[in-house]
Structure 1
């Protein structure tokens, strides 16, 4: 296996095992000692850790290379999983989950940065997002199943921690084979983007600020459209009326729908901004339908896959510095999963689910109107699938 293929395997296997480990704790949260609020904080700490490190991870990818950042993310993940398998104190688990999220943020932003520098990035990003959702599905279902079968509360966490060691081994093999960073496979303009980012921190931070302003409608669409999926997942248990085990299965099927559309999205020969706009219209309609028909989350899962791949494809074309772009993208996605469900849930409790859903649908409608005003600043990328 060539060095490049081995590195790609490390990324693909790594994202699946990392996401599975992150979700393996969810089935056992009710069994942990501690108040319900602590359990909720344990769940959210992971997303907060990822949210605050995805942008630094992307910047570091452009600064020191993706290989080092990806390796650091995987090592932090395995260390966190090891501690989670043996720690029972809820406060310590909260801290470990935060560190686990930091590892995830570094890994995801650096991996997407590397992928977007490659030929055929649309197809590779589709596979990456599909494996990300597959990992979430396996952690949710497999973690609970392994724990129940062995009668050991942390058996699922230990299993996925051991599984996460494999991509670290393959990353070490990449290191043994020589330089694992993708510079050798970059176009001349992309190599220039990376070398420019290594001139100093001030120009790089200036570029971050400029990219935030330049692609503001895109970041807004990431926060809102991906945040909607968290909003419906948070409300689904109450609205569906299903038992806890059935809820877990239903949410796993939603992830499966996202996996399918992530694989299918590169085959949609539709300009990315147009596909984002169409997806935003569908999301606005579906979130209103969701109030009466909670099973619409399955369709929403499919649309979510189209949204993610379209947004990533757009950034691959629109921006040269993919470390910064993917850092901002993953930060926005985790921010959406953190804040949209929280705000929507608060409004649902204060007023009603209908009011909350209407507001979220309105935000999706704003995405429809604003997404076309993103700016490409003249960079000529290759939208290869």
Structure 2
């Protein structure tokens, strides 16, 4: 009895988790598996839909509008929408729960897919791509925050990134292969898949609403052992005012580690984004639509494999990031001579680097706020850099801009991630 009392006192004093009954543990595993199914199916549909437009960007822009600026705007509208909302939705996930915000992202994706499928108006397409980006902005910080807190977080992140890139690969591949049947055939398919993910979400949504309406305080979905940014003590969700987040934002960006991770993310995804956004126009004279779809899909197949490998390796995250940067740089350099090999190397580099970068950021914090900051780096690169790149393409030409991009990315090898 005395020993039991001592153990209970230690648990209360150190806030240690009490032993979980086996029945509750089984229930938790079922809950986590259902959340995995939702996240895994959703990331495939979201990324597939976002990439299904790439091989048909000139056709979506419409006759007479097929130039680098219009194509880049349609490409980047998605990423700009994501960039502007990743941090706000990360904050919202900390306040109301990760699964609720991820569910909002799935819903916005399905809605935007419907508008893209049924409209040919350039303005509606552009706005729909932006709304699709809002869905991405809601989904990823919440999903990352959920995954990095699971016991098998590195393995799960590898699986999640595998499916992320599988969706990207399927989007460009089927869009190119099915273009002759209709330029929106692949877009329609991934809109249906997004609707399927939304259907999977409904039982969980009902449970969340029912729990909230019963008056019980439900623990934030998908989180456990939650770490606040920069080692600060956890706060009650009701006390998280805008002033608090402004202070956290200021403190976060005073941390050199976050700046380094953020900057590498911007340049890695920005330089490869320039290539991806403009390759349809650049390769129009020597690649067919199916060949273009196959080449770009190769990058995502490579990213699938490298992300799984990086998720299971025991290598230091800094080595993983550096390896990814070298592979991506080599791919950009080879893009003017060997498209298939080039995109394969770019994908392998990006797939490996993202695992290392997420690991580096999670060592600072696993909150939706911090994951929102991390994701803004990715989508700032994908959304903003290609637009600026298109300006230089008109002045200097494709090949000089691709070469300059590879040199800028190579410089990131000298950034020390501590």
TM interval, short-chain normalised: 0.7 to 0.9
**Do the aligned residues in 2 keep the contact of 1:63 with 1:194 (CA within 8 Å)?**
no
2:287 pairs with 1:221 = no
Return the offset for 1:182: 5.3
Tell me what 1:248 maps to.
293
Structural mapping, 1:110-125, within 5 Å: 110-125=142-157
Aligned to 2:141: 109
Aligned partners of 1:344 and 1:357 also within 8 Å: no
Which residue number corresponds to residue 11 of structure 1?
39
Deviates more, 1:257-266 or 1:267-276: 267-276
- 1:313 corresponds in structure 2 to 359
Mapping for residues 281-320 of structure 1, pairs under 5 Å: 281-294=326-339, 295-320=341-366
Which whole-Å CA distance do the structure 2 matches of 1:319 and 1:193 have between them? 12
- Tell whether the 8 Å contact from 1:26 to 1:43 is kept in structure 2 after alignment: yes
User: Which SS does the other structure have where 1:371 is aligned?
Assistant: coil
Report the secondary structure of 2:151's partner residue. coil
Range that drifts further, 37-46 or 329-338: 37-46
In 1: Cα distance, 2:331 partner to 2:187 partner: 34
Superposition pairs of residues 55-204 of structure 1, within 5 angstroms: 55-146=87-178, 148=180, 151-177=181-207, 186-187=224-225, 189=227, 195=235, 199=239, 200-204=241-245
Q: Which has the larger radius of gyration?
A: 2
Q: What is the total number of aligned residue pairs between the two structures?
A: 370
How far, CA to CA, are the matches of 1:153 and 1:104 in structure 2? 23
Q: 1:27 & 1:250 partners in 2: Cα distance?
A: 10
Distance in 2 (alpha carbons) for counterparts of 1:357 and 1:154: 29
Please state how far the C-alpha of 1:277 moved relative to its aligned partner.
2.8
Alignment RMSD (CA, Å)? 2.9
Measure how far apart 1:177 and its partner are.
4.2
Equivalents in 2 of 1:351, 1:82: separation in Å?
38
Counterpart in the other structure of 1:368: 413
CA contact (8 A) 2:72 2:386 kept: no
Q: d(CA) in 2 for partners of 1:115 and 1:307?
A: 17
Structure 1 stretch displaced more, 44-53 or 287-296:
287-296
TM-score (norm 2): 0.79
Determine helix, strand or coil for the equivalent of 1:334: helix
1:130-180 deviations in whole A, cap 9, x for unaligned? Answer: 1111112222222454564xx455443333222212222222212344568
Counterpart position of 1:378: none
Structure 1: which 5+ residue stretches go unaligned? 375-385
1:269-284 aligned within 5 A: 269-284=314-329
CA contact (8 A) 1:218 1:311 kept: yes
**Equivalent residue for 1:205?**
246
- Contact 1:113–1:323 (CA<8 Å) still a contact in 2? yes
Per the TM alignment, residue 232 of structure 1 is displaced from its structure 2 partner at its CA by 3.1
Distance in 2 of aligned mates of 1:266 and 1:231: 27
**1-side partners of 2:302 and 2:391: how far apart?**
28
